[in-house]
Structures are given as structure tokens and as C-alpha cells.
Structure 1
Amino acid sequence: MSDVDLRKLRYFVAVAEHLHFGRAAEQLFIAQPVLSRQIRALEEELGAQLFARDRRGTALTAAGEQLLIEAKPLLAAAEALQRRVVRAAAGADTFTIGFMPGLIVTGAVRALTERYPGLTVELVRTDWFDQTEVVHDGRVDVSLVRLPIDPHGLTVRPLYTEPRVVVLPADHRLAGKDAVSIADLADEHLLQDPDLVPEWRAVATELRTDRPVAPAFRSVEEKLEHVAGGHGIIFLPLSVMTFYTRPDIAYIPVPDLAPNEVSLAWSANRPVRHAEEFAALAAQ
């Protein structure tokens, strides 16, 4: 069997994610016939059919589904390797940290640079969708993450917990309360993945089983705009909400909601200089 071409793997992932050769070709900025030939060449190299195509569309075969699982971390690792080599060639002693909204890393960064005056620390803002992706693809050395995350391929060190609050429109019936319970909020429309708030999901499901699917907002700012517009509620860690304070929304403590867990994550597949030391500093 010949070595797998990473370029062909990237082409495969694009088709697998779109399940449409035309749209994948547009994303990759190549002609569709070229893409089709590259996928056929990959299938020949692997000795397996990756896609089933008929009048109804394109679907992954069992082999294609397995390759998609394997290809994404492989491509991320290749990208991370390239970034590390480029940084090493530049001769710079750098340490790059990813951090979620509301998480303040200033104290730990200052402590680390005091210990290593020649160290350059760079910061990358992340969100729920890429807080671990930036570790896998090498954009950061470590990432301050909010659980839950997929720990596969990662070393994860717990740092601390913080309370979560419910975010409501300023004119909501509960906006003036000192605290509310999950039961008080069970009939509200949640504007985030219910799996992130299992306490609410358990109570809300008992009351209503035909709830609309939560929209896929990609940023805190989008969620807050929809809350302010009266479209629903969200739950956020307290530090995030205080960072985004605005007059048309209110945030209320929810004592029976589990706190958010903050951890530090880095690659489990290679040594990461300063990771353990920074984790100890960030936990203080």
C-alpha cells in the first residue's frame, strides 16, 4: 500500500463534510472534475470505496465514515507539526495560550514571564467551537477550556469552578429575583444546546417533549442579542456574563445549577514545555 497523500485527505474531508462534490470543489478552489479524479485516486490507493453516489446524492460508505474519523486528527496533527517547525526555524521562544471569553490569564502570564524573561507569550481568543481544536491543529500550546470537552488526545488539568447564571431579557418576569431555580425556568425556550445544561434538560423534558431545536449560534454576542430580543434564555458562567454586561438583559444566580469547570488542556501526544508549570500558576 502506498503512503496516503495529505492533500487527497483534505479533498476527501471537504467532500465528506459537504456530501456534494460541487460545493466541496468551490471550497477548495479547484475544478469538480479534478476533485473527482483525486477522490478516485485515493480510493484506489486505499483499496476501498469511500462514497456511494446515485441520483439521490452522495453518501459516505462504511469505509468513508471510518476514514473521516481518522483523517481529521491526522490533518490537524500535520498542521500542528508545520506550525511548530516554522516557529523553531524562526528561533523564537514562544508559548501560545488559548482562552475562552471571561477567563482572565493576566496573572498567570505575568508570573510565567517573570520566571522566563526571554519567553514570548502569545494569546489566542477561542470559543465553544474551537477551544480544543486550536490545540490539535497547533495554533496554541495550551488552552483554557470550559468543560465539557472531548478529552481524546489531550492532557486536561482541572483549574477551578465558577457559578453559572441564567441570562434573561431585562423585562422578563423573573428579572428582578435574587435567585431562581431550574424549575422556574423549565418552560422557557433555551437558546443553546440542552446537553450543556443537563439539569434544565431533565426538568424541561418532563414538561414538554416537542421543544424546538436550539439554534446554532456561534458566539456569545449572538446569543445575547437574541436574549435581549425576547427569543429565549441562556445559561452562562458568571465571569462571561459580567464581561458582557448590558442594560437590556439581566443575569440571575441559579443555585441548583452545577458550576462550570475550567481546565487547562494541551496535546497528550508530545511534550509541551511550560504546560504543567502554567497549569499550576493558572490554578492559584
Structure 2
Amino acid sequence: MTGSEAPPSFRLAYVPGVTPTKWVRIWHERLPAVPLTLVPVSAAEAADVLRARGVDAGFVRLPIDRTDLSAIPLYTETTVVVVPKDHVVAAVDEVSPDDLADEIVLHPLDDTLTWEQRPGVAAKERPNTTADAIELVAAGVGVLVVPQSIARLHHRKDLTYRTVVDAPESRVALSWPEDATTDLVEQFIGIVRGRTVNSSRGRQPTTQTSPSAQTAATKGKRPDAGAARKKPTPGKKPVGRGSRAGSGGARGTGKGKPRRRSS
């Protein structure tokens, strides 16, 4: 390396709700000489940051404008409704969109779910952010439907959430500029997809990682068909299956008013 060359590094963007800790840990184990910098971005700006080469790769929420970008879907999240703890919904395990028909369902400007027809009654104004919407839910103004990881991110002692069946779900993907699939990007793809350091598809392996570090189990997430094939762990199910993960119980067979737990 000449004096004018910068040492290698890797910049990784991530949107709210995504926790890249386990992948970053494996990166440091395999490539200790290559610093990894985490860059938090909003779901709306993630694609533009990638195109502008502000980062080398990033975790995004689909759909995004795929122009000039490659993406590997990783998992699909359970959709939940956030309500006050004393709300009637808190007494059941799961609800359907029809159960929210009489509720004011808040729709923040940074919402990541795509509905053909939004449930409930629309509020007079849209909150600027999900954080603002959470404050309104706590004040009893309405309820909020979000991916489960977003509900966890904004956890409050006075709020809870329940699974919403038959609702749009948020898919998380690893994305990067398609004309910048560098060796380091390939290394990170291999880590995210669970490849071992001895995999023929990996590049420049350095150290062996323990099986536990390669586990991609995260509560409320279900791996997409394009992700590495492995036995699902509790709370994480393959895309396309009928059952859903989440904090609620087994999915009901019908719609209507919220169903109470069995005694």
C-alpha cells in the first residue's frame, strides 16, 4: 500500500428496527483488520444513501427503488398494533384489520407498510414520525400498526402490542450498489447468509466462527426463501408459510371482534 492509499474499511447502513449486532460481531472475528462503521438511516433515505456511495451496503425495508441496486431479501417481520395497556385489544392475542375498523389508526409520514386499504379511521393529521405517533398512542389518541421490531424499538411501560393477522408485512433486505459488489461486500453477504469461513463462495477467509455466532434467529422475524436454508427457530418462520410469529398465540380461523384467550 502506498502512502496515498486509504486503508480498507466497510460502511454499513441500517434502518430503524434492524439490529445488525450479530453480523457486526462475526465481521470483527473474521476481518479484524477492516473497521466496520455503522450508519443509521431512515427507511425513506436508505436507497439514496446507497446510490450516493455514502455506505458500501445497508439493511433496507422493501420495497425500494431497485434502480442500480442489488438486494437480497433476508426476513419478513410480523405486523403488530401498538395500543395502551388498558386497551381492549390488550386482552387478546391477535386481531384482524376488521377488528380495528372503529379505531383511529395513526399513519406517520415515515410509515413502511404498504396497504391496499388502511384499516380503521384516519386521523385528521399524519404524525411526522413513528416516534410522534407512539406519543399519541400513549396519550390515548389512536393506535399504530407497525412491524414488530419498530414496536420493540419504541417500547414503553404503558404500551403493549398484539399481532395483526391478514396485514401487510415488512421485508428486510441487504442492499448495495449493483456496480460496486466488492470483495468486502461479498464478505458481508456471506456473513449475513450464514456461510462459514470455509465456504467456497466466501472470499479471503481468516478465522473460524462458532456455530452459535452464525445463528440468525431473531424473535418476530422469518427468513425469506432466498436466505440460507436452515431449520427455523422459535419466532422465526420461512416466508410463505401460513403461521405467523410474534408475541401473540396461534392464529385464529376467522375475522371479527378480538378473540379472548382461553381460560
Bin for the TM-score computed over the shorter chain: 0.5 to 0.7
Q: 2:180 aligned with 1:270, yes or no?
A: yes
Q: What is the CA–CA distance in structure 2 between the aligned matches of 1:238 and 1:131, rounded to whole Å?
A: 20
Q: What is the CA–CA distance in structure 2 between the aligned matches of 1:247 and 1:271, rounded to whole Å?
A: 43
Partner of 1:239: 149
Deviations 1:82-139 (Å, cap 9, x if unpaired)?
A: xxxxxx9561211011112221212212222322221000001122222222212222
Unaligned runs of 5+ in 1: 1-87
CA-atom RMSD in angstroms: 2.6
Q: Structure 1 residue 272: deviation in Å?
A: 3.5
| Contact 1:100 1:127 survives alignment (8 Å) | yes
Q: What is the CA–CA distance in structure 2 between the aligned matches of 1:196 and 1:243, rounded to whole Å?
A: 16
| Residue identity matched to 1:278 | F
Q: 2:79 aligned with 1:183, yes or no?
A: no
Q: Structure 1 residue 145: deviation in Å?
A: 0.9
After TM superposition, what 4+ stretches of structure 1 lie above 6 angstroms from structure 2? none
Unaligned runs of 5+ in 2: 195-263
Q: 2:115 aligned with 1:198, yes or no?
A: yes
Q: Larger C-alpha radius of gyration, 1 or 2?
A: 1
Q: CA 1:214/1:106 → structure 2, altered by over 3 Å: closer, same or farther?
A: same
Q: What is the CA–CA distance in structure 2 between the aligned matches of 1:89 and 1:241, rounded to whole Å?
A: 46
Partner of 2:171: 261
| Contact 2:11 2:37 survives alignment (8 Å) | yes
Identical positions, percent = 33
Q: CA 1:199/1:188 → structure 2, altered by over 3 Å: closer, same or farther?
A: farther
SS in 1 for 2:134: helix
Q: What is the CA–CA distance in structure 2 between the aligned matches of 1:269 and 1:159, rounded to whole Å?
A: 21
SS in 1 for 2:95: coil
Partner of 2:36: 121
Aligned partner of 2:128 among 217, 226, 250: 217
Q: What is the CA–CA distance in structure 2 between the aligned matches of 1:172 and 1:163, rounded to whole Å?
A: 20
| Contact 1:94 1:120 survives alignment (8 Å) | yes
Q: 2:30 aligned with 1:111, yes or no?
A: no
Deviations 1:39-88 (Å, cap 9, x if unpaired)?
A: xxxxxxxxxxxxxxxxxxxxxxxxxxxxxxxxxxxxxxxxxxxxxxxxx9
Higher helix share: 1
Partner of 1:251: 161
Q: What is the CA–CA distance in structure 2 between the aligned matches of 1:234 and 1:89, rounded to whole Å?
A: 52
| Residue identity matched to 1:217 | N
Q: What is the CA–CA distance in structure 2 between the aligned matches of 1:173 and 1:254, rounded to whole Å?
A: 14
Q: What is the CA–CA distance in structure 2 between the aligned matches of 1:216 and 1:267, rounded to whole Å?
A: 32
Aligned runs of 1:16-35 on 2, under 5 Å? none
Deviations 1:9-64 (Å, cap 9, x if unpaired)?
A: xxxxxxxxxxxxxxxxxxxxxxxxxxxxxxxxxxxxxxxxxxxxxxxxxxxxxxxx
Q: TM (normalized to structure 1)? A: 0.59
Q: Structure 1 residue 216: deviation in Å?
A: 4.8
Q: Structure 1 residue 278: deviation in Å?
A: 1.5
| Contact 2:43 2:112 survives alignment (8 Å) | no
Structure number with greater CO (CA < 8 Å, separation at least 6) is 2
Partner of 1:154: 69
Aligned runs of 1:38-53 on 2, under 5 Å? none
